[in-house]
């Protein structure tokens, strides 16, 4: 005898399936909309373009024979000790981790960054992850704000992250990372004769590439009395690069540019966030019980000829894992911010 199904159960199942189907359709529509908007608004940087001159410098020529440099990835004043960044775990959900620092924390950090930089007696500041008005830094124009704290300095900006809407975490559109405008900034006590943004090679697969950084280097040139140039290169290489394929392309490009300037006999200083340790550096020297993470992989010793010099303090880390809030002695640290120069030409200490 055939058993009859309760009509109420049948209707409930049908309603459930209809609801699931509707939610699935809405999700697909949302994802399709995100991809369409990303494709429509994608930033396509030129291979080479002048930097954005935020302010001209007050001095026309280099008068000193000894120059000082400072590098700092300021992390848009949003990656402080309390941050446990969601993207290190998942691009789909935040699971309660940090998407952007709270406004009061972000602004407090930036005030301290301003005060610290303004107090330094330095000729050149090479900064990375510095924001123009962006959602993650609460629409603060950090580039202009720091220019105002450095009177008389030239300020040049090299955009490397220009996205109208970053949709991660994908399953939390109400928390989305949102609009970003960010990059590198070089502040110099002397007005450069030219300041140029060079696009670095290498791309992520579609569709990720629409929402990722367009990595670049900022090359500022200063005339010297001996007819040569001082070439200052602001560096920020790829970070989220499984296998290092993109890093290798970017380093090959950078080497070619530096060797070209070397052949001209120019003075060269390259510095910034390389997202790798310098050649010959032993990451375990910072933490005997370290476990390797990508930023700790040293550059190949053959990246540049042996005549080049790598300048850093081996006893002080410059980076930490943001998979969890910072705890001294427990959180992984690395040294990935440093200078490279050529002693034959770059006689000034860094």
Q: Highest-confidence range of 83-92, 130-139, 200-209, 336-345, by mean pLDDT?
A: 130-139
The bridge status of strand 52-55 relative to strand 309-311 is unpaired
Q: Which domain CATH number covers 194?
A: 3.60.10.10
Task: State the pLDDT confidence band at 343, using cuts at 50, 70 and 90.
Answer: low
Between CA 214 and CA 232 the distance in angstroms is 20
Q: What is the pTM of this model?
A: 0.91
- Say which range, 62-66, 204-208, 299-303, has the weakest mean pLDDT: 62-66
- Tell whether 157 is covered by a domain: yes
Domain limits at 46?
A: 42-341
- Tell whether 84 is covered by a domain: yes
Q: Is-contact 81 327, C-beta < 8 A?
A: no
pLDDT, tens digit (0-9, with 9 covering 90-100), for 199-254: 999 888 888 889 999 999 999 999 988 888 999 999 999 988 877 789 999 999 99
Between CA 273 and CA 336 the distance in angstroms is 6
Q: How many domains does the structure of the chain reveal?
A: 1
- Upstream peptide bond of 207 is cis (omega within 30 degrees of 0): yes
Task: State the pLDDT confidence band at 103, using cuts at 50, 70 and 90.
Answer: very high
61 phi/psi in degrees, rounded to 5:
-145, 160
pLDDT at 111 over 70: yes
Q: Which residues pair with 269 in a beta bridge?
A: 232, 341
Q: Which residues pair with 152 in a beta bridge?
A: none
- Tell whether 5 is covered by a domain: no
Tokens 């990508």 belong to 294
Nearest 5°: the CA angle 289, 85, 299 is 50
Question: What torsion, rounded to 10 degrees, do the Cα atoms 36, 40, 42, 46 define?
Answer: 150
- Say which range, 104-113, 278-287, 305-314, has the weakest mean pLDDT: 278-287
Q: Is-contact 320 256, C-beta < 8 A?
A: no
196 phi/psi in degrees, rounded to 5:
-130, 140
pLDDT, tens digit (0-9, with 9 covering 90-100), for 317-327: 999 989 999 99
Average pLDDT over residues 32-46: 91
- Tell whether 70 is covered by a domain: yes
- Tell whether 2 is covered by a domain: no
Share of the chain above pLDDT 70, in %: 91
- Say which range, 51-65, 91-105, 218-232, has the weakest mean pLDDT: 51-65
- 287 is written with which tokens? 């933490």
Quick count: other Cβ atoms within 10 Å of Cβ 157?
25
pLDDT, tens digit (0-9, with 9 covering 90-100), for 249-275: 999 999 999 999 989 989 999 999 999
> For residue 137, what are the CA distances in angstroms to 104, 126, 141, 271, 326?
10, 20, 9, 25, 20
pLDDT at 292 over 80: no
Three-state secondary-structure class, residue 68? coil
- Tell whether 27 is covered by a domain: no
- Tell whether 4 is covered by a domain: no
Q: What share of the chain is helix, strand, coil (3-state, %, to 5)?
A: 30, 25, 45
What does the buried/exposed string (b/e) look like for 180-199 if buried means 16 or more CB atoms within 10 Å of the residue's CB?
A: bbbbbbbbbbbbbeebbbbb
Between 103-118 and 142-149, two packed helices, what is the crossing angle to 10 degrees? 30
Between CA 333 and CA 154 the distance in angstroms is 33
Average pLDDT over residues 36-64: 88
- Tell whether 36 is covered by a domain: no
């Amino acid at each position: 005898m055939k058993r009859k199904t309760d009509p109420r159960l049948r209707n409930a199942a049908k309603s459930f399936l209809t609801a699931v189907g509707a939610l699935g359709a809405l999700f697909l529509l949302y994802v399709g909309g995100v991809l369409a908007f990303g494709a429509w608004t994608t930033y396509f940087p030129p291979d080479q373009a002048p930097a954005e001159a935020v302010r001209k410098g007050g001095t026309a020529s280099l008068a000193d024979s000894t120059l000082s440099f400072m590098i700092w990835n300021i992390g848009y004043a949003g990656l402080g000790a309390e941050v446990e960044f969601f993207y290190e775990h998942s691009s789909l959900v935040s699971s309660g981790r940090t998407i952007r620092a709270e406004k009061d924390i972000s602004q407090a950090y930036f005030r301290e960054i301003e005060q610290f930089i303004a107090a330094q007696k330095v000729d050149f500041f090479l900064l990375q992850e510095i924001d123009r008005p962006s959602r993650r830094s609460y629409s603060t124009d950090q580039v202009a704000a720091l220019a105002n704290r450095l009177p008389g300095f030239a300020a040049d900006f090299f955009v490397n992250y220009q996205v109208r809407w970053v949709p991660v975490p994908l399953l939390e559109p109400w928390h989305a990372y949102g609009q970003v405008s960010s990059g590198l900034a070089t502040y110099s006590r002397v007005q450069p004769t030219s300041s140029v943004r060079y696009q670095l090679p290498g791309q992520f697969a579609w569709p990720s590439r629409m929402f990722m950084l367009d990595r670049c280097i900022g090359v500022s040139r200063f005339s010297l009395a001996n007819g040569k140039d001082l070439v200052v290169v602001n560096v920020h290489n790829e970070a989220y690069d499984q296998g290092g394929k993109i890093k290798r392309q970017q380093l090959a490009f950078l080497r070619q540019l530096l060797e070209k300037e070397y052949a001209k006999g120019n003075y060269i200083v390259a510095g910034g966030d390389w997202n790798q340790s310098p050649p010959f550096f032993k990451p375990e020297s910072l933490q005997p019980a370290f476990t390797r993470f990508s930023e700790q992989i040293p550059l190949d010793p053959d990246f540049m000829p042996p005549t080049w010099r790598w300048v850093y303090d081996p006893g002080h880390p410059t980076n930490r894992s943001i998979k969890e809030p910072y705890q001294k002695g427990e959180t992984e640290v690395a040294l990935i911010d440093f200078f490279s120069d050529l002693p034959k030409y770059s006689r000034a200490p860094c």
